[in-house]
C-alpha cells in the first residue's frame, strides 16, 4: 500500500480543500489521463484499487503513471473511547485532491482501450472525473469522461 517512507511529523491537522488545483493539471507523461472534478481525500486503498483495475485490464500492454501520492496521515480514535486524552492514532494515509488534478495517466495503448481502462478505474474513485488528452499550446479541451 502507498504511504510515505519518512515523515517530518507523525500527525497533521485536517486543513481545507477550497478552490481548484493549479499544479499537476496537465498530462505530462502519457496520452490520456483521469482528471478530478471534485475535491476529496483519496485514500491509499482507493488509489491502489484504481491502479489494479488498469493493470488487470491492459494486461502487459502500455504504461501507467499514478500522479498522486497519499502523504497526509488521517488519525482515528479507537472504538468506544471517550473524547479527550489527545489525538488518536494514525489510521491511514490520503492524498488531498482538488478539482483539476490529474490522478492517473496512461500511454502506449489504442485510444479506445485506454479510455475503457480509465473508465473502469474511475469507478474505484470517490469523486466525479473526466478523461482528458494532452493540451499542448494549441489544443482545446478535448474529451469528456
Which residues inside 55-74 make contact with other proteins, applying CB under 8 A?
55-56, 58-64
As a whole number of angstroms, the distance between CA 106 and CA 96 comes to: 21
Contacts of 37 (CB under 8 A, 6+ apart): 99, 127, 128, 129, 130
Task: Report in angstroms how near the CB of residue 125 gets to other proteins at its nearest.
Answer: 16
**DSSP conformation class of 77:** P
Residue 19 lies near other proteins (rule: CB under 8 A): no
Shortest distance, position 128 Cβ to other proteins, whole Å: 11
Position among 14, 76, 87, 135 found at the interface with other proteins (CB under 8 A): 135
Compare residues 17 and 90 and give the one whose CB is closer to other proteins. Answer: 90
Figure out which of the listed residues 34, 37, 41, 94 binds other proteins, where binding follows CB under 8 A.
Answer: 37
Cell numbers at 108, concatenated: 502506449
Q: What's the distance, Cα to Cα, between the start and end of the chain in Å? A: 27
**What is the C-alpha to C-alpha distance for residues 54 and 49, in angstroms, rounded to an integer?**
9
How far apart are alpha carbons 128 and 125 in whole angstroms? Answer: 8
13 binds other proteins, rule: CB under 8 A: no
Contact residues toward other proteins (CB under 8 A) are: 1, 3-10, 20-22, 25, 35, 37, 52, 55-56, 58-64, 90, 99-100, 107-108, 130, 132, 134-142
Amino acid at each position: 500500500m502507498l504511504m510515505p517512507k519518512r515523515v517530518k511529523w507523525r500527525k497533521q491537522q485536517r486543513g481545507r480543500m477550497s478552490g481548484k488545483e493549479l499544479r499537476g493539471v496537465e498530462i505530462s507523461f502519457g496520452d490520456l489521463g483521469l482528471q478530478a472534478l471534485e475535491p476529496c481525500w483519496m485514500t491509499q486503498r482507493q488509489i491502489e484499487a484504481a491502479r489494479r483495475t488498469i493493470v488487470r485490464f491492459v494486461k502487459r500492454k502500455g504504461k501507467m503513471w499514478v500522479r498522486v501520492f497519499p502523504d497526509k496521515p488521517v488519525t482515528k480514535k479507537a472504538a468506544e473511547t471517550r473524547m479527550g486524552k489527545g489525538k488518536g492514532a494514525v489510521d491511514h494515509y490520503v492524498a488531498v485532491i482538488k478539482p483539476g488534478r490529474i490522478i492517473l495517466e496512461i500511454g502506449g495503448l489504442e485510444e479506445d482501450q485506454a479510455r475503457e481502462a480509465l473508465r473502469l478505474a474511475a469507478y474505484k474513485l470517490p469523486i466525479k472525473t473526466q478523461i482528458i488528452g494532452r493540451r499542448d499550446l494549441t489544443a482545446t479541451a478535448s474529451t469528456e469522461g
